[in-house]
Amino acid sequence: MEKLTNKKRIVIGISGASGTVYAIDLLKKLKTIPEVETHVIVSQWAKENLKLETDLTMKDLSELIDVEYSNKDLGAAVASGSFLTEGMIIVPASMKTVAGISIGFGESLISRAADVTMKEQRKLVIVPRETPLNAIHLENLTKLARLGVQIIPPIPAFYNHPETIDDLLHHQTMKLLDALGIENEGRRWKDGK
């Protein structure tokens, strides 16, 4: 029998698109919130991008994660709707991952967990990281949006006067935490000031 927890479980999928820094910033913020427990799936290509895009190792990333799963483990807890979660964020989301989710092709744990999140009518947030987008990408994202998935591309805001790349990352993380109803601080729009 599953042990009940008072913590909010958040599933995070890190797929092979460029932009692992978005996932890292999100995990760093969630690590500071004692009420949250992260359940993270890292694809093989995400691991490669971690090496290409950052100075972090998988060991460094693992230290930010509460529970980690292999993307090949379709029998993992997060593959079942009976495993209770607050929702799931896929950050960054490759177009391959988006396509798989949009047609219900659960060949990986990330896409299976996303399918479970949708079927259980829990919050699913996708952070697509591709540009330019072709018509197939847009159709897949539109289909998911119509099914209730929240699409939050990492598009920077400038009303908050970002000065560093970290400022841009923090703003995106603020949006993701907002989407899951997790209270957080950030530079927000203040009546046009």
Any idea what the CATH number is for the domain that residue 64 is in? 3.40.50.1950
Residue-number span of the structural domain to which 28 is assigned: 10-130+147-179
Please indicate, yes or no, if residue 56 is contained in any of the structural domains: yes
Please indicate, yes or no, if residue 15 is contained in any of the structural domains: yes
Count: domains in the chain:
1
Please indicate, yes or no, if residue 187 is contained in any of the structural domains: no
Q: Is 142 labelled a binding residue?
A: no
Mean pLDDT, range 102-110, rounded to an integer: 96
Q: Is 88 labelled a binding residue?
A: no
pLDDT classification of 187: cutoffs 50, 70, 90: confident
- What is the model's pLDDT at position 1? 45
Q: Is 70 labelled a binding residue?
A: no
* Token pair recorded at residue 134: 């072709």
Q: Is 94 labelled a binding residue?
A: yes
What pLDDT, in 10s, does the model give residues 47-105? 999 999 999 999 999 999 999 999 999 999 999 999 999 999 999 999 999 999 999 99
Q: Is 187 labelled a binding residue?
A: no
Q: Is 96 labelled a binding residue?
A: yes
| pTM for the predicted model, two decimal places | 0.94
Please indicate, yes or no, if residue 192 is contained in any of the structural domains: no
Please check the confidence at residue 120 and state whether its pLDDT lies above 50: yes
Please check the confidence at residue 192 and state whether its pLDDT lies above 60: no
Q: Is 15 labelled a binding residue?
A: no
Please indicate, yes or no, if residue 78 is contained in any of the structural domains: yes
Residue closest to 123 by CA, chosen among 178, 167, 186 = 178
Q: Is 18 labelled a binding residue?
A: yes
Q: Is 129 labelled a binding residue?
A: yes
